[in-house]
Amino acid sequence: MTSWTDIPEYKKILKHVVEEFTSSFLMYDYEGLDEKQVKKEITEHFDKFFKDPEFDRLITKATD
């Protein structure tokens, strides 16, 4: 079975998730946060999370 992260829209989905999460996170205006660095770290985190085989199992289970 192919991972859902292999679909062509994956990067678009990842970007949307990161934008939503970042805007919510930065809403609290923590001092000293660099928006570019925050987006980079959040993107890396979500990308790793979405590519984890456990995430695929959870999504499959949730959609069944």
Summarised one tens digit per residue, pLDDT across range 37-59 is 888 998 999 899 888 889 888 88
DSSP 8-state assignment for residue 11 = H
Q: What are phi and psi of 3, to 5 degrees?
A: -70, 145
- Give pLDDT, residue 1: 55
Q: Where does the pLDDT of residue 5 fall: very low under 50, low under 70, confident under 90, or very high at 90 and above?
A: confident
Domain that holds residue 47: 4-63
With a threshold of 0.85, does the pTM exceed it? no
Which of 14, 3, 10 has the alpha carbon at shortest distance from 43? 14
Domain count, the chain: 1
Instruction: For 26-37, write each residue's pLDDT tens digit.
Output: 787 777 778 888
Mean pLDDT of all residues in 10-39:
84
